[in-house]
Chains A and B, each alone.
Chain A
Amino acid sequence: DAGVTQSPTHLIKTRGQQVTLRCSPKSGHDTVSWYQQALGQGPQFIFQYYEEEERQRGNFPDRFSGHQFPNYSSELNVNALLLGDSALYLCASSLVAGEKLFFGSGTQLSVL
């Protein structure tokens, strides 16, 4: 059983560009959450998707958007990239009523 998979593992972009990160949840999980982990910091909650809708959102600007597909996989999109968006982006999946989150290994985004 594959766990949470994320792609790509590394990405380099320049300021002003747009990026799309992808996540496939653990088998049987229907809820996907995204976190941003800056270097030396704890992960910060971006948003959570369930039934293809954004259910909760953290303190991130509208440049950060997402999508969930019928197969529960998810995308994170970031527009107009800033240097400060450089971070490890983590995807976590869970059952809707559960608390146990399973994390992927993350996508390391570098904005130059």
Chain B
Amino acid sequence: GDSVTQMEGPVTLSEEAFLTINCTYTATGYPSLFWYVQYPGEGLQLLLKATKADDKGSNKGFEATYRKETTSFHLEKGSVQVSDSAVYFCALILNDYKLSFGAGTTVTVRA
């Protein structure tokens, strides 16, 4: 079935460090890919998305590029802040509109 695998955490960084969270997917068709973020005590929020190969999603300084050849959608941010501390989920959706999530990566940014 369709699935997402993302790097295990937790990840601890210092402010202004570079962040990468790896995500790879398995799908029978051509999915849309997403990164969701869950801040402490809050629900899931869409961070960015990409709907086809080579698309780049970006938001709040985060970027991810849909790589069909490597079935990947890695999340990056060049300079993290304490406020970026959260759990990040990679997800995919196919024609059935059912999101399949990865297990999540907990990121902690220290001042």
A interface residues with partner B (beta carbon < 8 Å): 4, 31, 33, 35, 40-45, 48, 56, 58, 90, 92, 94, 99-101, 103-106
Contacts and interface: CB of A to CB of B under 8 A. Distances in A.
Interface of B: 4, 32, 36, 41-46, 49, 51, 89, 91, 93, 96-104
A42 B89 contact: yes
A105 B51 CA distance: 26
A64 B87 CA distance: 27
A23 B53 CA distance: 35
B97 A99 contact: yes
B42 A105 contact: yes
A44 B98 CA distance: 10
Nearest to A47: B98
Contacts of B103: 40-42
A99 B32 contact: yes
A56 B96 contact: yes
A103 B43 contact: yes
Contact of A48 (B44, B89, B91, B97): B97
A30 to B, nearest CB: 12
A56 B98 contact: yes
Given A41-B104, A99-B32, A90 B43 contact: yes
A45 B103 CA distance: 13
A75 B5 CA distance: 31
Contact of A103 (B44, B96, B100): B44
10 contacts: A35-B99, A40-B104, A41-B103, A42-B101, A45-B100, A90-B43, A92-B44, A99-B93, A101-B46, A103-B43
Contacts of B96: 56
A94 B98 CA distance: 11
Contacts of A35: 99
A56 B36 CA distance: 22
A31 B104 CA distance: 25
Contacts of A100: 46, 49
